Amino acid sequence: MSSDALPSRVEVYLDGNDDPIGIYQPPARFRLDTEDLEDGPHELRIVATDRSGHCGVRTIPFEVRNGPGIAVDGLKRGDVVEGALDLLVNAYGGAYEENWEPARAETPAPIPTWAWVLFLGAVAWAMFYAARTWSPSPDMAGSPTFAQWTGEIGGDIGPGPGGTPSADGAGAALYRTSCASCHQTNGVGLDGVFPPLAGDPVVVADDPTRHIEIVLYGLQGEAIAGVDYPTAMPGWAQQLSDVEVAAVVNHERTSWGNDAPTVTPDQVAQVRRRGSR
């Protein structure tokens, strides 16, 4: 090998230009400044020549993005479109922007379809629930639960003959919600625990005063038909109105084979004013 042979060298070319942007001896370190390059694809070509004159070439494609990033919503690569388009364009994070806030890169996106379906389903269920709750069946409409919102007892509690509340409808509903858990739906009670109402002397008596008193103020420790019932019955004076007490009393006096005279709200009011004896 000749002593005057050229040393190895590295030539760096950019974007197919014939003139190199730099010639170096290996190992070469150089700075590639992209500030003057347009954003987009570029190619760096490196030609290395050894002492014997053999060349090696390597090309490195790269992309410059000094400007802000761009996001487009409403049009994608390869879309087939027609007519007018509504597009949303966001630009963020330029290389020369100081104190860049990443949240600015969050392009607003439309609410996904599944979210709308879930929302509408929840609304539909809420409307269905509200409709069922505020439009109860005739039996439930007369219960204290719904009566407290309407200010009156619904169902069939309207005055019957002589101004007497009907024993049907609301009276039955009040009995189910307030009395049946102890006296049972068939009025037979539980032996030695809760007395029966079917055939009970107080319930079938011509004078309903004692019956009204017990519903209003409760009862404990009194033998009924020779049987002691130690369990206390609560009074309902604070929970039920005169109309409601009359309705449930009439239901008890005309159900399960009972056939006793019914009462009016005025009779209940008189007993309430007098208090328990």
pLDDT for 100 beyond 70: no
pLDDT for position 15: 93
pLDDT for position 102: 54
pLDDT for 17 beyond 70: yes
Task: Please state, in angstroms and rounded to a whole number, the distance separating the CA atoms of residues 211 and 253.
Answer: 9
Domain assignment present for 207: yes
* Mean model confidence pLDDT for the chain: 79
Q: How many other CB atoms sit within 10 Å of the CB of residue 204?
A: 18
pLDDT, average across residues 8-34: 91
pLDDT for position 208: 92
First-to-final CA distance of the chain: 135
pLDDT for position 136: 54
Task: Please state, in angstroms and rounded to a whole number, the distance separating the CA atoms of residues 62 and 76.
Answer: 23
Residue 14 belongs to what domain range?
Answer: 9-28+39-64
Using alpha carbons, list the distances in angstroms from residue 213 to 172, 203, 245, 249: 19, 11, 10, 10
pLDDT for position 150: 43
Same domain, 47 and 151: no
**DSSP code of 6?**
P
Domain assignment present for 100: no
Same domain, 234 and 144: yes
Tens digits of per-residue pLDDT, 209-231? 999 998 988 887 777 777 887 77
Q: How many other CB atoms sit within 10 Å of the CB of residue 183?
A: 22
CATH of the domain at 255: 1.10.760.10
Quick one: pLDDT band at residue 2, thresholds 50, 70, 90?
very low
Domain assignment present for 144: yes
pLDDT for 195 beyond 70: yes
Domain assignment present for 195: yes
Q: What percent of the chain has pLDDT over 90?
A: 27
**Backbone conformation region of residue 3, classed left if phi is above 0, alpha if psi is from -120 to 50, else beta:** alpha
- Encoded tokens for 194: 């809760």
Contacts of 68 (CB under 8 A, 6+ apart): 91, 92, 93, 94, 97
Tens digits of per-residue pLDDT, 42-90? 999 999 999 888 999 999 999 998 877 788 888 888 889 889 988 888 7
Domain assignment present for 191: yes
- Tell me, rounded to whole angstroms, the distance of Cα 183 from its chain centroid: 39
CB-CB contact of 37 with 64 (8 Å): yes
Number of independent structural domains in the chain: 2
Amino acid of residue 192: G
Domain assignment present for 259: yes
Same domain, 44 and 156: no
- Which runs of E-coded beta strand occur in the chain? 9-14, 22-24, 40-49, 55-64, 69-73, 88-92, 223-224, 227-228
Domain assignment present for 133: no
Same domain, 169 and 53: no
- The pTM assigned to this predicted structure is 0.43
